Amino acid sequence: MSFGVASTAAEALRTQQASLAQSLVERQFALSPQLAERYGAAGRIKCLEDANFHLSFLAEAVDLGHPEMFADYIAWVKVMLTARGIPPADLVNYLTLLCDVLLEALPAEAGTAAARVVDQSLRELPNMPLEVASFLDPQAPLTPLAHEYLALLQRGERQLACQRILDAAAAGSSVRDIYLGVFQPTQREVGRLWQMNHISVAQEHYFTATTQWVMSRLYPQVFTEGKDIATLVATCVSGNLHELGIRMLADLFEIRGWKTFFLGSNTPTAAVLEMVAQQGAQVLAISATLMPQVTTAQSLIAKLRTDRRFDHVRVLVGGHPFNLSPGLWRKIGADGHARDADEAIELAERLIGVDS
C-alpha cells in the first residue's frame, strides 16, 4: 500500500467513521435479529460505541502502514469476547461484515486498502490465542510480594497492601525494584484480569488508584536533593488516560538524579510544549498507550520540531504500539523508543551525552 493511498484511506475512515459505524451496526442487527431481543436499545448503543472504537484503531493502522497493529488489537478483542461467552465465529462474521461495509461505502482505492488490513486480521484470527498468560513471572524475585499485593487489593485491604510495600522498602528493597518488580507487573496483570472478565472496570480503577496512592507513600525516597543530571518532562498525549506507566518512568528518572516534571494524563499539546520551554528540558518522554494515540504523539513531535527553541530537545516514546511495531518511533519523528524505564534512562543519557 502506497503512502498516498494509505493516507487517503485513513482520512476517509476518520471523516466517515460515524456513518460507517452506523451502517455496520444496522447490518449486524439486521443479520442477527436476536441481538435486539437479547440486548435491547442499550445493547445497540454499546455496539455503536464499539464499532467507532474498532474503526479508530483501523484508521491508525492504515495511516501508519502497520497492519500488524490492527491484528494485535483484534487478538486482544478475541480474548476479551471469548471470556464473555462470545465465540470467535461471531468475530469472524463481524470482521467479514466490516470488510463489506468498507468496500461499499468508501472510495474504491480507500475501501480496498482498509479492507485489506481487516482481511489480514481475519486470516490470522484462527491462530490467535483464546486467553492470555499471567504477567507475574514466577522466576522474578519480587513475584511473591506482587501476588500478595494483588490479592490484598482484590480483597479490598488497601491499608494492608500498602503496609506490605512499605515493609519491603524498609527491609531493603529499592523503590526501583518495587516499581519494576511489583507495580509494573501487577498493573499489567490487572489489565489481563479485566480482559479475561475476572474483575470489573470499577475494580481495575480501584487497583490503579491504590497503586498511585502507595507510590506517593514512597516519595520521600524518590524526591531528594541533588537533581542535576538533566531535566525531563514526561507526559501522556492528549486522549491518553493511562498515566501510571509514564509516572513510574518519571519517578525512576528522578531516583537516577534527573529533575523531572510529570504532567499526568490527557495533556494538551500546547501545555506540553509550554512546560518543556519553561523548564529548559533536554528530554521529552511521551506515552501513547493505545494505537489511536500514535498520530497524536506524531503531531506533538511535529510541532516541537518546528520551534527552534526545542532544537536541543530529544524525544523518547513508549507504550504498547511502539513495543509492537519496531521502527514506528522513527516514523513519527521521535529520537528513540524504550520498553522500560531502565532502557529509557540509558537511551536518554546517551542521546544528550551524559557520561556514565
Separation of first and last alpha carbons in the chain? 44
Q: Which fold has domain 225-351?
A: Rossmann fold (3.40.50)
The pLDDT assigned to 208 comes to 95
pLDDT at 222: 85
- Cell 522474578 found at: 140
Are 233 and 284 in contact by the 8 Å Cβ rule? The answer is yes
Residue 173 confidence (pLDDT): 96
Res. 1 pLDDT band, cuts 50 70 90: low
User: Hey, where are the domains in the chain?
Assistant: 3-127, 143-220, 225-351
Domains 3-127 and 143-220 share a fold: no
13, 107, 339 from 113: Cα distances, Å: 11, 10, 30
229 backbone dihedrals φ, ψ, rounded to 5°: -70, -55
- Pairing mode of beta strands 231-236, 314-318: unpaired
pLDDT in tens, 221-253: 888 766 789 999 999 988 877 899 999 999 999
Average pLDDT of span 321-342: 94
36, pLDDT greater than 90 = no
Over the stretch 150-202, which tens digit does the pLDDT of each residue have? 999 999 999 999 999 999 999 999 999 999 999 999 999 999 999 999 999 99
Identify the CATH number of the domain defined by range 143-220. 1.10.1240.10
State in words which class domain 3-127 has.
mainly alpha
- Per residue in 98-113, pLDDT (tens digit) is 999 999 999 999 999 9
Task: Say what the pTM is.
Answer: 0.91
- CA–CA distance, 79 with 196 (Å, rounded to integer): 7
